[in-house]
């Protein structure tokens, strides 16, 4: 008599929830009744056409099911409203989703200890544009500024607010600007991103009393920060809304940008491109380009244009391996 094959019992769905923490091996999911449950994902979940290093991100709405071993598993992800994604590393073809289903993406920057580059800022903002996420800049550590720093900070505020990105000056140490920033973040799910050492954890500790996130120090040799956040986590704000805290990143590589689309993610370049002679103008060396004269006449900042070209280089190289574009002046 032939033996009967055992059939695996399908996990029983217990509900849908929101991912609020990712430790790498476990995902903490907040269920509708307010409790959180530690979930894993099945091995084959990673190969269903998902090209990211993390198939599940903080902010994802997921289906949770209980398996025969009594463990909870994420079995499905609801369609994402939006997300922020970056290249996993400079040499990698993989991507990493920083957060999903967010209302605001806030880039935390500093003028010193460490100094944030405009290229890093612009890459973050362009990615937010590409994935339909409103963005802002938070300039932290304003208590450390001298007169030159304040002049530069004001120039950045004029530049970025003129494009459409709000800019907040604040100090996690003295509390300057935090009340106004808290009002801006209230009621929203906000991704807080930045280089290591810019003070994200200190900002969250100041905005959310009792959060007690670990803070780091700045290297005396390299003037860069040390990583203190080792996983992504959603932290509730006292006035409603949440902050998504992620590990600090040193670089921000863009991914899946088509060369002809890069200009769309720089609002001021997109505005001037309407006057270009050719509809497919890359604003690098084409005749009849309206963007290049706008840069020369300072209607578009040199720093923003340089950031645009750096992303265009990556997009062209990824698309065809063609020669990179160079600044035409």
Q: What is the CATH number for 72?
A: 2.40.50.140
265 and 171 inside one domain: no
Distances (CA, A) of 11 to 17, 55, 226: 16, 19, 41
Of 125, 136, 164, whose CA–CA distance to 262 is shortest?
Answer: 125
291 and 174 inside one domain: no
Residue 283 lies in a domain: yes
Residue 64 lies in a domain: yes
Helices (H) and strands (E) in the chain, counts: 7, 13
133 and 96 inside one domain: yes
Give the position of tokens 């006035």.
Answer: 239
Gap between the Cα atoms of 142 and 144, Å rounded: 5
Domain boundary (58, 77, 96) is at 77
Torsion of the alpha carbons at 281, 283, 285 and 288, rounded to the nearest 10:
60
C-alpha distance across the termini of the chain, in Å: 84
Residue 285 lies in a domain: yes
152 and 216 inside one domain: yes
203 and 96 inside one domain: yes
Q: What is the CATH number of the domain that holds 298?
A: 1.10.40.50
Gap between the Cα atoms of 269 and 305, Å rounded: 8
Domain of residue 59 covers 12-77
42 and 134 inside one domain: no
Q: What is the pLDDT along the chain (329 residues), one digit of tens a residue?
A: 444 555 556 678 889 999 999 987 899 999 999 999 999 987 666 655 557 788 899 999 999 999 888 889 999 999 999 999 988 765 556 788 999 999 999 999 999 989 999 999 999 999 999 999 999 999 999 999 999 999 999 999 999 999 999 999 999 999 999 999 999 999 999 999 999 899 999 999 999 988 776 554 443 333 333 445 568 999 999 989 999 999 887 777 787 788 989 999 999 999 999 999 998 899 998 899 999 999 999 999 999 999 999 999 988 887 775 555 555 54
Q: Structurally, how many domains does the chain consist of? A: 3
Gap between the Cα atoms of 19 and 296, Å rounded: 47
Residue 209 lies in a domain: yes
134 and 221 inside one domain: yes
100 and 143 inside one domain: yes
226 and 265 inside one domain: no
Q: What is the CATH number of the domain that holds 122?
A: 3.40.50.300
Decide if 277 contacts 287 (C-beta within 8 A): yes
The three-state DSSP-derived secondary structure of 208-229 is CCCCCCCCCCECCCCCCECCCC
268 and 213 inside one domain: no
């Amino acid at each position: 008599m032939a033996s009967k094959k055992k059939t695996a019992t399908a996990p029983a769905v217990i509900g849908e929830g929101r991912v609020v923490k990712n430790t790498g091996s476990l995902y903490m999911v907040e269920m509708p009744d307010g409790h959180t449950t530690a979930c894993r994902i099945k091995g084959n979940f990673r190969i269903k056409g998902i090209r990211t290093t993390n198939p599940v991100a903080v902010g994802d709405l997921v289906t949770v099911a209980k398996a025969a071993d009594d463990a909870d598993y994420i079995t499905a992800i609801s369609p994402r409203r939006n997300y922020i994604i970056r290249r996993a590393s400079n040499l990698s073809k993989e991507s990493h989703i920083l957060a999903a289903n967010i209302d605001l993406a806030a880039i935390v920057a500093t003028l010193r200890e460490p100094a944030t580059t405009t290229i890093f800022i612009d890459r973050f903002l362009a990615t937010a544009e590409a994935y339909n996420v409103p963005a802002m800049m938070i300039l932290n550590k304003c208590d450390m500024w001298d007169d030159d720093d304040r002049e530069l900070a004001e120039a950045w505020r004029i530049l970025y607010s003129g494009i459409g990105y709000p800019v907040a000056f604040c100090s996690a140490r003295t509390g300057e600007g935090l009340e106004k920033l808290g009002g801006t973040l209230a009621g929203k799910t906000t991704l807080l991103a930045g280089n290591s050492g810019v003070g994200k954890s200190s900002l969250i500790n100041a905005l959310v009393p009792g959060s007690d996130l670990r803070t780091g120090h700045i290297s005396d040799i390299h003037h860069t920060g040390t990583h203190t956040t080792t996983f992504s986590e959603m932290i509730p704000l006292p006035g409603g809304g949440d902050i998504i805290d992620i590990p600090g990143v040193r670089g921000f590589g863009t991914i899946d940008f088509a060369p002809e689309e890069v200009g769309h993610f720089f609002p001021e370049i997109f505005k001037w491109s309407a006057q270009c002679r050719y509809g497919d103008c890359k604003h690098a060396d084409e005749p009849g380009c309206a963007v290049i004269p706008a840069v020369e006449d300072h209607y578009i900042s040199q720093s923003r244009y340089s950031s645009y070209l750096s992303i265009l280089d990556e997009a062209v190289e990824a698309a065809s391996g063609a020669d990179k574009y160079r600044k035409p002046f």
